[in-house]
A and B are shown apart, each in its own frame.
Chain A
Amino acid sequence: MAKFTKTHEWAELDETVTMGISKYAADELGDIVYISLPEVGQAVVAGEPMCEVESVKAVSEINAPVTGTVVEVNTDLEDSPELINEDAMSAWICKIEATDIPADLMTEAEYDAMDK
């Protein structure tokens, strides 16, 4: 079951952590036209910007949901960033080998109930 951050990322907590942005975030951004993927090997810190996603209207930072190292990125998004609009929960952005998982990640029900 995916967990969620207050800043609208989702994270699937397996051996490595797969992450993306929530449907709510994708809908709010509108048509996504570009994503600057993180790099494999990049160190990321929970709650801090990790990469950027751009819609026609605006640029928006994506925060790392966990602390660790990026081990894989979804290069399909380079040519087809609109996959995030089509299905945000399956359009994963990267996989992270986590060294620390924040305790305040939310369940889907908690995230849905959060005041956005």
Chain B
Amino acid sequence: MAKRTPLYDKHVALGGKIVEFAGYDLPVQYSGVIAEHNAVRNAVGLFDVSHMGELLIMGEKAEEALNAILTNDIRGMYDGQVRYSLLPNEKGGAVDDILVYREAWDKFWFVVNGANVEKDAEWVSTHLPEYVHFENLSDAIGQIAVQGPNALALIENLVDGDNIPMKNYSFKWNVKIGGICTYLSRTGYTGEDGFEVYCKAEDTTALYDVLLEAGKDLGVIPCGLGARDTLRLEASMPLYGHELGDDIPVNEVGLGFAIKMAKDDFIGKTALENHTPEYVRLGAKVVGKGIVREHCDVYAGDEKVGVSTSGTHCPTLGYPVCMLRVKKEFKDEKLFADVRGRRIELEVVPMPFYKRNKQ
């Protein structure tokens, strides 16, 4: 049976349509995917992301130990900084993609994908030296994402300016929101400005109510997994299990900014050094009629040259797009997707598909 987040009863009460995702019963939508998507692009939306995992790593040599299991270089981060990284396996594939939070020079958090919590906890604990403290606190922590151009105004209704992380990819801890102790992070998975708020599992419902109330004049609505997927797709953010996986070398997915080959040895480094990328991640607009979702074969002429890894109709763009994993020598060719026997024309376009206007 699927697990439930602390907000399950809230989702049901708010009319959420529940589906199983990452082993959890979560709402795919409340009012509708397009309405929720638009709320995040134009106002602000709340997402229950309590299914995501939080791993705590502490110790004098934590930084050095973590640097040996991550592709990114986490040396030189400041307290309150967040950095994206891949968690590589020995073959150069990805165990997961994660956010690394540095709370103190000897205290770090990994925020990991919900579907991978157990796998990651096992992987990280067995690949860290014994003198580093490791703890999987995923079940004890709830998380709510507050995303959209009005997210800052919503948080400002609740938190003093001094306690709001102003830089993208930064966070503050011990931030009181409606009396609840939180970690307040300027991060997200939607392509908009926004926050991810962490709290004790038992405080999640109260926190949700406080956030919903504080945003009622700002157009806040509850949003589900459907909108989360269309938003991240428009922003061209990879999703583990789609663009990333155990068997996909991480140097084939366009995430070079998070792979520091020049740093000291890390898991998978040798494999990556010896692997010349064969595939690239491409973004494509669907020119032909129809929707191209994941797992469609991609052709250049009669030759099968790759697959689609994600795709659907994009509400803000007004047309469908998809992400592709294609042999790199075909990246400039005319490509087609095979959708249940029908050939649909694609046009490769630069990513991200959608980029917000920054004030």
Contacts and interface: CB of A to CB of B under 8 A. Distances in A.
Interface of A: 30-31, 33-34, 36, 52, 54-57, 59
A59 B226 contact: no
Contacts of B28: 57
B33 A57 contact: yes
A55 to B, nearest CB: 8
Given A30-B29, A30-B32, A34-B313, A56 B289 contact: no
Contacts of A52: 340
Given A30-B33, A31-B34, A33-B313, A59 B293 contact: yes
For chain B, which range describes its interface: under 10, 10 to 19, 20 to 34, or 35 or more residues? 10 to 19
A36 B230 contact: no
A31 B34 CA distance: 7
B32 A36 contact: no
A10 to B, nearest CB: 22
Contacts of B310: none
Contacts of A30: 29, 32-33, 226
B313 A56 contact: yes
Given A31-B32, A33-B313, A57 B226 contact: yes
15 contacts: A30-B32, A30-B226, A31-B32, A31-B34, A34-B289, A36-B289, A52-B340, A54-B290, A56-B226, A56-B230, A56-B313, A56-B315, A57-B28, A57-B226, A59-B291
Contacts of B33: 30-31, 55-57
A33 B32 contact: no
A52 B344 CA distance: 15
Interface string B215-254: 0000000000010001000000000000000000000000
Given A56-B312, A56-B313, A57-B28, A34 B290 contact: yes
A54 B29 contact: no
B290 A36 contact: yes
Please provide the 7 A-B residue pairs with the shortest distance between their CB atoms, ordered closest to farther.
Answer: A33-B313, A56-B33, A31-B34, A54-B291, A31-B33, A34-B291, A57-B226
Contacts of A56: 33-34, 226, 230, 312-313, 315
Given A31-B32, A33-B320, A54-B291, 13 more contacts: A30-B226, A33-B291, A34-B289, A34-B320, A36-B290, A52-B340, A54-B290, A54-B313, A56-B34, A56-B226, A56-B230, A57-B33, A57-B312
Interface in B285-303: 289-291, 293
Interface in B12-36: 28-29, 32-34
Contacts of B29: 30, 57
Interface in B302-345: 312-313, 315, 320, 340
A57 B225 CA distance: 10
Contacts of A59: 291, 293
A59 B313 CA distance: 11
A16 B33 CA distance: 36
B31 to A, nearest CB: 10
Q: Most A CB atoms within 10 A — which of B34, B230, B340? A: B34
Contacts of B226: 30, 56-57
B40 to A, nearest CB: 14
A55 B34 CA distance: 10
Contacts of A36: 289-290
Contacts of B313: 33-34, 54, 56
A30 B315 CA distance: 13
Contacts of B320: 33-34
A55 B291 CA distance: 9
Contacts of A57: 28-29, 33, 226, 312
Nearest to A33: B313
Contacts of B293: 59
A57 B290 CA distance: 13
